[in-house]
């Protein structure tokens, strides 16, 4: 009997926070992602994800142990910044890590790691050091090698387990030129 109660306690906050995604009866315009807050002052921030219906942001930072070394088994740590709640920081729960915002990691050698989103594994990401010896996440955006800065997911309705994703927008800095590059992907 305790298991269903514990499961409900884990899932209920997700369902209620996600309930604004369903039944968009008023059809108000969706917010411009450029108006969302940008996480600043986070040492080791790799990239972040924002999505409808609110400004809560999922941040991905390099996972360094107390000795200043990379946690090889788990090199990326993900957490929320809850802007509507005063910018509080909160770790992802089990369901969020395993089904929505978690990252699968595969070591490829020489302090390089292939990263794949648990929700959208089609996009390969590469965690490696840049010329200044800082870890960055690299991916191709519009067929150009870029350091990934932000992912925005445009959602319009759907359900918790099956949101209606209109597009995924990648934003990064091209390694060759330093210019900002964006690309929208329509999931199939």
- Domain positions in the chain are 2-22+45-185
- What pLDDT is attached to residue 160? 76
Q: Which residues of 37-52 are buried (b: 16+ CB within 10 A; e: fewer)?
A: eebeeeeeebbbbbbb
pTM of the model: 0.84
Distance CA 111, CA 109 (A): 6
Q: How many residues does the chain have?
A: 188
Residue by residue, pLDDT tens for the chain (188 residues) are 443 333 333 443 443 444 344 444 456 788 889 999 999 999 999 999 999 889 999 999 999 999 989 999 999 999 999 999 999 999 999 999 999 999 999 999 999 999 999 988 999 999 999 999 999 999 999 999 999 999 999 998 888 778 899 999 999 999 999 999 999 999 87
**Greatest distance between any 2 Cα atoms in the chain:** 59
């Amino acid at each position: 009997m305790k298991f269903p109660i514990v499961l409900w306690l884990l899932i209920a906050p997700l369902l209620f926070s996600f309930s604004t995604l369903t039944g968009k009866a008023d059809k108000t315009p969706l917010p411009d992602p450029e108006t969302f807050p940008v996480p600043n002052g986070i040492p080791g921030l790799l990239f972040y994800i924002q999505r409808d219906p609110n400004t809560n942001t999922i941040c991905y930072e390099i996972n360094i142990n107390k000795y200043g070394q990379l946690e090889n088994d788990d090199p990326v740590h993900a957490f929320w910044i809850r802007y509507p709640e005063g910018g509080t920081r909160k770790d992802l729960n089990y369901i969020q890590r395993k089904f929505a915002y978690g990252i699968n990691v595969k070591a490829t050698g020489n302090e390089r790691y292939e990263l794949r989103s648990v929700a959208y594994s089609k996009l390969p990401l590469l965690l490696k050091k840049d010329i200044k010896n800082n870890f960055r996440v690299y991916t191709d955006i519009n067929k150009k090698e870029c350091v990934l800065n932000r992912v925005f997911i445009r959602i319009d309705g759907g359900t918790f387990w099956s949101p209606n994703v209109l597009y995924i927008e990648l934003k990064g800095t091209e390694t060759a030129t330093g210019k900002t590059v964006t690309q929208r992907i329509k999931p199939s």
